[in-house]
Structure formats: C-alpha cells, structure tokens
Structure 1
Amino acid sequence: MTPFTYARAADAQAALRLTGAGAGAKYLGGGTNLVDLMRETIERPGTLVDVTGLSDGIAETDDGGLLIGAAMRNTALAEHGLVRRRYPMLSRAIVAGASPQIRNMATLAGNILQRTRCAYFYDQAGSRCNKRDPGQGCDAVDGFNRMHAILGASPACVATHPSDLCVALAALDATVHLSTADGERRLPFAELHRLPGDEPERDTALEPGDLIIAVELPALPLAARSVYRKVRDRSSYAFALVSVAAALAVENGIVTDVRLALGGVAHKPWRALRAERALLGQPATEAAFRAAAAAELAGAEPLRDNAFKVELAQRTIAAVLGELAGELAGDGT
C-alpha cells in the first residue's frame, strides 16, 4: 500500500481545511470501497481525512421530509423507524446491497460516492480501462459485458453504477447538502452522478474537496407505499443485473403520480422519466405498465452479452408497478 497520512476531522470546516492542505487528499467514511481500491493501488491518496465524526443522525424537516447526516451507517439508516414507514423503498434498497458486515460499516455519503466500476477496472495488469487510466481504452466494450450498461453509455465506458441505495434516492427526488470551499450549497441528487461521455474517470459533478454533509428527502406521501426490487445472479452480495425503485399513486383507477428509477443499467442511477410521463393519467393496468416500460427502454443500446437486460428491465418495471397497483386496489384507493 502506498504510504499516506491520516487526520480526523472534528467538523465540516476542519475537513475542508485538512483536505485543502493535503496532497491528493480523500475523505474517509466506512472505507468499504476506498480502502479496497487502495489495497489494489488503484487509488493512491496522500492524505485520508476521516469524516465519520460528522453528523450521523436523522432530523425531520419543516415540510415533513427527512434530513439524514452523511456519516450515518447504512444499517442504522435502513432500520430507522421513520425511513421504514415513510420511505420503505430506501430501507429495502439498503438491505439488498452488499453484506450485513459492509452495511454496518458503510456510511450514507460513502455509498453515494463509491466508484462506478466493473471487473476490467480492477484488472490493471491485463485490461484497458478509461476510468482507471484516461485515454487507454475500454476493453469491456468488446469483451465480456453481461453486467454492463444498456442506457446512457459511451464508447469510453460501459460500466454500471453499483449502488442500490442511490437508485432509491434518485426515485425519491433527494437533495444533497454540500460543504465546499465557496460555502454550502445544495444539489439535486439527479445531478450528482454523471454519465461517462468522454470523461468516464469523473463519476460525479463534485469538485475536489467538496464534502457531502447531509441528504434531504422531501415529503412524498406516495413513497409510504413503495417498492425496491433487485434482480441478480445470487440472493446476496451481488450487484444488480436490473433493479427498480418505484412508488405509485392511483385515484379511481388512474395513475396520478409515480416515481421510477433503475439500477444496473447505466453509469449512474437512472431516473425513468419517460416511463413516468407515459404513465401519468393512464389506467393502472398491466398494459399501461408494459407500455411505459417499453417507452423507457426504447433508447437502450445493448452490448453483445447483455441484450437480455432490455426485456428484464421491462418485465421488472411492469411487475413492480403491478405489485403496487394491487396493494393500492386492496386498500380501496
């Protein structure tokens, strides 16, 4: 492992100062991704700034939403009563990710900022990867690409974002609170992660030193009846082939509101806006759900090994929406 210095930040301002003073500094949360990459010598920070002492609580906002501290552990977040009651898709997404041991260590902000990656990213000796070494090429494009992107990819990178939690945050219209060298600011979660374009080495829109201090969930009544479904090769500790976070509101058999986001299909959590638009004002029927799913996947560009993801995503979207519609019908809504 490359030598580095370690400092523990007492607050956000201290974290910014320490990061600004350290060459190649990185923030350290649970370390479940960063330390792994350091062991592989893919990441070589000169300084680690420990930010696990920052806010790790949940507070209700004035409008009925939640403000979640960036250092909150994933397990604690998934088990929190307010999250389970008001945003069950988020709780279910967290539990679907990684292993209990990793969830116990991982922080909210650390999960959000984990690297978008694939097996070629780790294979330093034998594979080209633009994300690891910009300008080198992407061996996944013509290689084994069963797990890779079908939406929003580019010739420079076809990796998929690995987080389950982030798919739920995208569906919930979360807002990220940042502390930066120029002061505090807020960023819609949908604008945080990037598609690869010509700069796949940049996973997010953050500038060096920007620190996530909290994530805000808006008051969203329909999220109280929401679902996260993850389709994967094995039942635990596996990235998604396709995942769906969904919430649905129906009145008199007509869809009045909907939130949809997909995982396992793109370089970032994919908000399914086409499907949402296609559903609004339509009857809450299987035919409408299938049509909306088809509209969302119409722009898919599968690779040699992952064309199955197109139909898998469509079927999963329709199944999740059908589950929610059935529950709502059972409640008489």
Structure 2
Amino acid sequence: MKPFTYARAADADEAIRLAGAGCARYLGGGTNLVDLMRETIEQPAALVDVTGLSDTIEVTADGGLLIGAAARNTAVAEHRAVRTRFPALTRAIVAGASAQIRNMATVGGNILQRTRCAYFYDESGSRCNKRRPGQGCDAIGGFNRMHAILGASAACAATHPSDLCVALAAFDATVHLRSADGGRTLPLTELHRLPGDRPEADTVLKPGELITAVEVPALAARSTYRKVRDRSSYAFALVSVAAALRVEDGVVGDVRIALGGVAPKPWRAWTAEAALRGGPATAGHFRAAAEAELAAAVALRDNAFKIELARRTMTAVLTGLMGDPR
C-alpha cells in the first residue's frame, strides 16, 4: 500500500479545504475504499475522514427524508420513518453485505462504491479500462455472467454494485453536493455515468466535490425491493428491482422502477414506467412493460439469462405490490 496522509474533518467546509484541488480521497466507513487501497487499485496520496459530517435522518416538511451523508447504513435501515414511509430503502440496505459492514458503511460511501468486477480487482493479471484507461477489457470476452446487459460499451461492461442506490434511483432521490465553488443538487439518476469510452469516470462529480446529504421526496405509493442472487446473503445482485406502485380503480396512477445488477449505474426503467402509466394494472401489462424496457438489452456470452430474469422479476415485483399493504 502506498504511504498516504490522513486528516479528520469536523464538517464539510473543513473537508473541502483539506482535500484541496482533488488530490485527496474522502473516507467514510472505508468498506470499499480501504479494500481498493489494499489491492493497490486506488493509491491516494491523502485521505480526508468525513465521518464528522451530518449523520442525521430527518423527515422533511413534505413527508420525505433528508439523510446526512455520514449516516450509517444500519441507522438508516432501522429508522422508524424509513421503515414506515420507504420500506424499500430498508429492504435494499439489509439485502447488501453483512451486518458488520452495514454498521460501518455510510450513505455517501455506499453511493460512491466502485464495481466488484473480478477483472477490475485483478490488478496484476487482467486488462481493465476502468482501472487503467486504454488497457482493454478482459470481461467482454471473458467470464461475464455478472456483467451488464444495459448501458455497457465496448470499453466496459461492469455493473454498479449498490443495492441502496437502486432504491434511491427509483424514488427520485437527489444528492446534495459541496465543493470549493459552492453547493448544488443533482438527481441521483444523473450522478453515475455510463462507461462510453471513459469507463474510469464512475460519476460526474467534480474534483474535490463532496456528497453531504441525500434527499428523498415523499412517496404516495406502495414500495418494495427484491434482489435475486446466487446465495441468500452476502452476494451481489444478478438482478434487483426497486419499485413503487399506485393503482386507482384498476389503472396504474403512478409507478417508479429501477433495476440493479444489469447496468454500470442504477438503471431507472423510464421506458417501462411510461408504458405502464394510465394502463391496466395487470400481470400481462406489467410483463409487456418489462419487455419494452429490456428490448435494448445486449447479452454477452454468459449473461443472456439476465434478460429474462429481469423481465420476470419486474413482473413479479409489480404484481406483488398489488396486494402488498406496504
């Protein structure tokens, strides 16, 4: 591991000052960044500890949530307002990692965690454009069962690993950001990038920019999260679905859907949502909308099964929400 300096910031302003012109990395719970440093994939010259940022979880005036970036995943999952108003957020968090990791991981860090592509982690034996631009991507022609079917490029087919981000993307969350230039907010669906020809850039964050909070607007619909994986715990998603559904007199009044495990970013299912709104709330209509969303899917050698798995999971989740009082 490369030597680095360490400083602990008391608040966002101090963190930004300590980070300087973007030469440092912000450290939350460290559950991803420290692993990457051990593997010499990330080698920052300086770390700025941002666990001193706000960790509060507040109910906003409109009934939504404002979650501080330093809030631990366990605290969010167990918060009464989250469990009652946004059960899908709790389910998404609990579906990810182990209890010990959830106790350490922060919301800001969860949002910014990097892919778990095996080729990305194989620093000494594999080519990876995300790790080293221009090197090539061994996943494209290699073992790619876990890789993307939507939004990939010839340069990278890695998937985004976060469960929480899928639920946040479905529910129109916005991310509060701070930098030396001031503050801004950004829809979470616009924070992460598709790889294109620059897969090394995971997000649109500016150098030194810091996540300070995540805001989730009120949701007047039933919601849930389902994760399909190879084993029942401590496994990344093959396909996951976060959804919210409101039905009025048998007609879909509102619907929000996001997919995980299928794309380089949390994948908001805009096409499926547009196909569903104003239509009948039936399993057949749900299936047709899922097919419309997956029409653009492109399979690699080992992951074609994800296309049908995503269709079936979307259909099952929406059908289940018809009778799920939460």
TM bucket normalised to smaller: over 0.9
RMSD: 1.1
Contact 2:28 2:106 survives alignment (8 Å): yes
In the TM superposition, residue 219 of structure 1 has moved relative to its aligned partner by 1.2
Contact 2:126 2:138 survives alignment (8 Å): yes
Contact 1:70 1:215 survives alignment (8 Å): yes
In the TM superposition, residue 162 of structure 1 has moved relative to its aligned partner by 0.3
Alignment of 1:138-287 (within 5 A): 138-222=137-221, 225-287=222-284
Residue type matched to 2:7 in 1? A
Q: Per the alignment, in what secondary structure is the counterpart of residue 326 of structure 1?
A: coil
Residue type matched to 1:67 in 2? L
Question: Aligned equivalents of 1:18 and 1:24: distance in 2?
Answer: 10
1:123-155: CA deviations, max 9, x gaps? 112110000000000000000000000001000
Q: Per the alignment, in what secondary structure is the counterpart of residue 249 of structure 1?
A: strand
Contact 1:65 1:220 survives alignment (8 Å): yes
Contact 1:72 1:107 survives alignment (8 Å): yes
Number of the residue aligned with 2:68: 69
Q: Per the alignment, in what secondary structure is the counterpart of residue 258 of structure 2?
A: strand
In the TM superposition, residue 177 of structure 1 has moved relative to its aligned partner by 0.4
Residue type matched to 1:8 in 2? R
Runs of at least 4 residues off by over 6 Å: none
Question: Aligned equivalents of 1:18 and 1:110: distance in 2?
Answer: 18
Question: Aligned equivalents of 1:246 and 1:59: distance in 2?
Answer: 23
In the TM superposition, residue 116 of structure 1 has moved relative to its aligned partner by 2.4
Question: Aligned equivalents of 1:90 and 1:278: distance in 2?
Answer: 25
Residue type matched to 2:304 in 1? A
Contact 1:247 1:260 survives alignment (8 Å): yes
Question: Aligned equivalents of 2:283 and 2:53: distance in 1?
Answer: 46
Number of the residue aligned with 1:93: 92
Number of the residue aligned with 1:104: 103
Contact 2:29 2:109 survives alignment (8 Å): yes
Question: Aligned equivalents of 2:306 and 2:273: distance in 1?
Answer: 20
Asked if residue 18 in structure 1 is aligned to residue 18 in structure 2, the reply is: yes
Residue type matched to 1:163 in 2? S
Number of the residue aligned with 1:43: 42
Q: Per the alignment, in what secondary structure is the counterpart of residue 26 of structure 1?
A: strand
Number of the residue aligned with 1:127: 126
Number of the residue aligned with 2:4: 4
In the TM superposition, residue 253 of structure 1 has moved relative to its aligned partner by 0.6
Identity of aligned residues (%): 76
Q: Per the alignment, in what secondary structure is the counterpart of residue 141 of structure 2?
A: coil
Q: Per the alignment, in what secondary structure is the counterpart of residue 237 of structure 1?
A: coil
1:75-134: CA deviations, max 9, x gaps? 000000000011110110000001111000000000000112400001112110000000
Q: Per the alignment, in what secondary structure is the counterpart of residue 48 of structure 1?
A: strand
Q: Per the alignment, in what secondary structure is the counterpart of residue 230 of structure 2?
A: coil
Question: Aligned equivalents of 1:245 and 1:62: distance in 2?
Answer: 24
In the TM superposition, residue 327 of structure 1 has moved relative to its aligned partner by 2.9
Question: Aligned equivalents of 2:51 and 2:291: distance in 1?
Answer: 43
Contact 1:116 1:203 survives alignment (8 Å): no
Q: Per the alignment, in what secondary structure is the counterpart of residue 35 of structure 1?
A: helix
1:223-277: CA deviations, max 9, x gaps? xx21100000000110000000011000111101000000000000000010001
Number of the residue aligned with 1:318: 315
Contact 2:59 2:81 survives alignment (8 Å): no
TM-score normalised to structure 2 length: 0.98
Contact 1:178 1:211 survives alignment (8 Å): yes
Residue type matched to 2:5 in 1? T
Q: Per the alignment, in what secondary structure is the counterpart of residue 139 of structure 2?
A: coil
Structure 1 range deviating more: 232-241 or 114-123: 114-123
Structure 1's unaligned 5+ residue stretches are none
In the TM superposition, residue 24 of structure 1 has moved relative to its aligned partner by 2.7
Q: Per the alignment, in what secondary structure is the counterpart of residue 130 of structure 1?
A: coil
1:189-229: CA deviations, max 9, x gaps? 1100000001000000001100000000101111xx21100
Contact 1:261 1:270 survives alignment (8 Å): yes
Number of the residue aligned with 1:30: 29
1:285-317: CA deviations, max 9, x gaps? 110010000000000001010000000000000
TM-score normalised to structure 1 length: 0.96
May I ask how many residue pairs the two structures share in their alignment? 326
Structure 2's unaligned 5+ residue stretches are none
In the TM superposition, residue 48 of structure 1 has moved relative to its aligned partner by 0.5
Residue type matched to 2:159 in 1? T
Question: Aligned equivalents of 2:166 and 2:218: distance in 1?
Answer: 18
